[in-house]
Amino acid sequence: MTTKLADLPKAKHFELTAEMARAIEHEVAHYPDSKAASIEALKIVQKHHGYVPDGAYEPVAKLIGMSAAELFGVATFYSLIFKHPVGKHVIKLCDSLSCYLTGYEDVKKAFERKLGIGFGQTTKDNRFTLLPICCLGACDKGPVLMIDDDTHGNVTPDGVDKLLEKYA
Amino acid sequence: MSAETKPLTHNIRPDRPLGLKEFEAAGGFTALRKAIKEMTPQEVQQKVKDANLRGRGGAGFPTGVKWSLIPMGPDAGAKYMVCNADEMEPGTFKDRLLMEGDPHSLIEAMIVSGYAIQATTGYIFLRGEYTVAADRLSMAIVDARNKGFLGKNILGSGWSYDVHVHTGAGRYICGEETALINSLEGRRANPRYKPPFPQISGLWGRPTIVNNVETLYNVPHIVNRGSEWFKGLSKVKDGGTKLYGVSGRVKKPGCWELPFGTTVREILEEHAGGMQDGLKLKAWLPGGASTDFLTDQHLDLAMDFDTIAKAGSRMGTGLLTVVDDKQSMVSVVRNLEEFFSRESCGWCTPCRDGLPWSVRILMALEEGRGKPGDLEMLEQMTKWLGPGKTFCAHAPGAMEPLQSALKYFRSEFEAGIAKSKVAA
């Protein structure tokens, strides 16, 4: 089966707002080469949209003097740049050794049971996305996870319900 | 607790770091004034060299020697001081503690170290997940700018310098110093070929020093109190104190500042309170996922670079991960290799293809469906993916826990080979 070009999903219209452009230019000023702001620029887009829409690469790349292809190459390298829509809250569950030793697998099962999703998936109501993450540097409090920008330690399977309640 | 015996941690306030005034009252910024007003850059370099400060990021390279490779002089042009704050080594939780609890000290250290190599700009490469540290460091930079410690002609010295926080967006490989430099330039974080080393050609092709967070925290104290004091803190020939820590199923996991060269037994039994009730120690990693396992036969070793290397491992970051007797070594190693496999940047073949292959074999052994020859294949991999076969240290690091687990716990791996139908 072949896919026709016309059948591929169209990149959604994306507008680089003046606010985003200003924030990106503020970052560019920290470096002798504007390309160095690429990751920060992607994060700024992500802050406004929740992820980086396909239509963002052209205008952002132009702003920082890079090709859209190179910027896309950067975006696909880094795990915290989302290329697809994610839920309102992103749960990043540490699966590195210290957390593995202190009960990560049971916590993961509790999330999967409660949310009905696995790693890389988003709940139907778009509230949560569940992702694995490398060691979060709080190994004395394992199992550790992050929800959005908050780090939570000593997480237990029984504590998962209560933890999720805080993120409406 | 005093600055004299616990230089790294005495100013730490985890919930609310010292404000600028409190920090100064506690001795903050005295090293900065002393270095810039009373010392030449070369004198600062020499003092750090004499102190036997070795890098705390894992490799243990002497910091003063690294600095001395930087071209100096009025024609040296743009030079960069980079702090590697991309803490992501599994089992390592020291740099977060320092930066969240005492952000001003890192800024002071970045200024003193930047002065020593006459850097034009400093960057703190901070992992994106450390949001609290990002806020606190950014505020500390503003404080330092307002005091005139950053900017043009600092304290009338004629030296101009500024520091920026650069936050990452994930990927363990960014901790490798040349990958970090590529990432800081806004590229994919593939490592670079060495030589040239960053000291000669680093960020944007300019001379660059990359130092770990904990390493830098030592610098102002060496300037303040001297090399002899610093060496006197240690029980071995490497100078200073060290943030040691323990994670895993021990009674009191945590991180403590102790004399360099404290024994593993003291760290485990006195500070971490020993194993949780009903558990026995089976194996431990001295300092991160990319160090070789050691066992209960090695508890009386001093935790220093040379001693742990002689025992067949590496001290690495110095934060122990303890594996208890209820854990399967095959599963533990599978977890580690899954991590390394996922975090391979994909640049070179042994790492990109070899690591997922090792995971497949380990999963088969874990589920009792291993094949004869699997152990030999894993052993072969520890050579194919070992030092000198790959572009950077990622795959060789990944092989360290594997080769040592096979050495000390071979029977557990053998038990994962499916019994042949004839024998059954």
Phi, psi of B293 (to 5 degrees): -65, 145
Q: Which two tokens stand for residue B403?
A: 């080769």
pLDDT value for B326: 98
- Contacting residues of B for A103, CB less than 8 Å apart: none
Convert the pLDDT of each residue in B280-301 to its tens digit: 999 999 999 999 999 999 999 9
User: Is any Cβ of chain A less than 8 angstroms from the Cβ of B327?
Assistant: yes
When mean pLDDT is compared across A9-18, A35-44, A72-81, A92-101, the lowest value belongs to A9-18
Interchain CB distance below 8 Å, A101 and B332: yes
Does B422 score more than 80 pLDDT? no
Distance between CA B207 and CA B262 in Å, rounded? 36
What ipTM was estimated for this complex? 0.95
Convert the pLDDT of each residue in B83-134 to its tens digit: 999 999 999 999 999 999 999 999 999 999 999 999 999 999 999 999 999 9
Residue B254 to chain A, least CA–CA distance (Å) = 5
Dihedral angle, C-alpha A91, A94, A100, A104, nearest 10 °:
-10
pLDDT value for B424: 44
**B17 cis-preceded (ω within 30 degrees of 0):** no
Query: Of residues B215 and A6, which shows the higher confidence score?
Result: B215
* CATH class of the domain whose range is A89-165: alpha beta
Confidence band (pLDDT; 50, 70, 90) for A8? low
- Contacting residues of B for A35, CB less than 8 Å apart: 185-187
Report the residue from A37, A138, A149 with minimal CB separation from B131.
A149
Distance between CA A131 and CA A90 in Å, rounded? 7
Interchain CB distance below 8 Å, A35 and B323: no
The residue-averaged pLDDT of B237-248 equals 96
Window 184-213 of B: residues touching A by CB (8 A cutoff) are 184-189, 204
Which amino acid, one-letter code, is at A151?
Answer: T
Does B41 score more than 60 pLDDT? yes
Q: Contact, B199 vs B216, CB < 8 A?
A: no
Place of tokens 């010295």: B157
- Contacting residues of B for A146, CB less than 8 Å apart: 129
Domains, in order of start, for chain B: 20-232 (3.40.50.11540), 241-324 (3.10.20.600), 329-414 (1.20.1440.230)
Interchain CB distance below 8 Å, A97 and B336: yes
- DSSP characters for A3-66? --GGGSPPPPP----HHHHHHHHHHHTTSSSGGGGHHHHHHHHHHHHSS--GGGHHHHHHHHT-
Phi, psi of B197 (to 5 degrees): -80, 155
- In CATH, what is the architecture of A15-77? Orthogonal Bundle (1.10)
Q: How many CA atoms lie within 13 A of B209 on its CB side?
A: 33
Radius of gyration from C-alpha coordinates of chain B: 22
User: Is any Cβ of chain A less than 8 angstroms from the Cβ of B134?
Assistant: no
Per-residue b or e along A104-137, where b marks 16 or more CB atoms closer than 10 Å to that residue's CB: beebbebbeeebebeeeebbeeeebbbbbbbbbb
Query: Of residues B196 and B421, which shows the higher confidence score?
Result: B196
User: Is any Cβ of chain A less than 8 angstroms from the Cβ of B225?
Assistant: no
User: Closest-CA residue in chain A for B189?
Assistant: A77
Distance between CA A130 and CA B205 in Å, rounded? 39
- Contacting residues of B for A37, CB less than 8 Å apart: 186
Q: Contact, A157 vs A167, CB < 8 A?
A: no
Dihedral angle, C-alpha A135, A138, A142, A147, nearest 10 °:
-80
User: Is any Cβ of chain B less than 8 angstroms from the Cβ of A121?
Assistant: no
Radius of gyration from C-alpha coordinates of chain A: 19
Q: Contact, B83 vs B122, CB < 8 A?
A: yes
User: Is any Cβ of chain A less than 8 angstroms from the Cβ of B100?
Assistant: no
